[in-house]
Amino acid sequence: MKLHELHDNEGATKKRMRVGRGPGSGKGKMGGRGIKGQKARSGVAIKGYEGGQMPLYQRLPKRGFNKPNRKKFAVINLGLIQKFVEAGKLDAANITEDTLISSGLVRRKLDGIRVLAKGDISSGLTISVTGASKSAIDAVAKAGGTLTVTTAQAAE
């Protein structure tokens, strides 16, 4: 076998259809688009249109409500706080939102920082944050620490 003898299998390659290139091409004159109308023109985008029928996206029910002034909290777990205390990046006696940010545990405050109860804590921590879940408050109290919520927005 020589390099000039190499070729593809029969029927493996197919020439591309050249639309609108004369009657001999089989797709000449109007190029398979029919006569006139919106779809015969170029630049047509009528994907969501259902021809006078109520479109599917309008027939489906809308559910729920999105509160426009909803508060967005930066969420942090107790296990991570414990890890940072053990690493010496946080002082267990005084953990505030500002110390959490300066230690690099939380990137930004948003509308406040909320503590959740995921993870174990072994030492007594004194934490002061905007929000906390009931189970997080109980877990800190059980370990011999205190978790104070600074605003009226308390537990779940």
CATH for 119: 3.100.10.10
In a domain, 7, yes or no: no
Rounded mean pLDDT, 108-133? 89
Answer yes or no: do 98 and 142 share one domain. Answer: yes
Question: What is the structure's pLDDT at 134?
Answer: 92
Question: What is the structure's pLDDT at 119?
Answer: 86
Which is higher by pLDDT, 101 or 153? Answer: 101
**Residue 75: pLDDT band with limits 50, 70, 90:** very high
Question: What is the structure's pLDDT at 154?
Answer: 46
Q: Is the pLDDT of residue 12 over 90?
A: yes
The whole domain housing 127 covers: 74-149
Strands (E), the chain: 74-77, 95-96, 113-116, 126-129, 131-132, 146-149
Question: What is the structure's pLDDT at 122?
Answer: 83
Q: Which of 40, 61, 82 is the last residue of a domain?
A: 61
Backbone angles phi, psi at 126, to 5 degrees: -110, 105
In a domain, 3, yes or no: no
**Residue 93: pLDDT band with limits 50, 70, 90:** confident
**For residues 144 and 116, what is the distance between their CA atoms, to the nearest angstrom?**
17
Question: What is the structure's pLDDT at 152?
Answer: 52
Question: What is the structure's pLDDT at 45?
Answer: 65
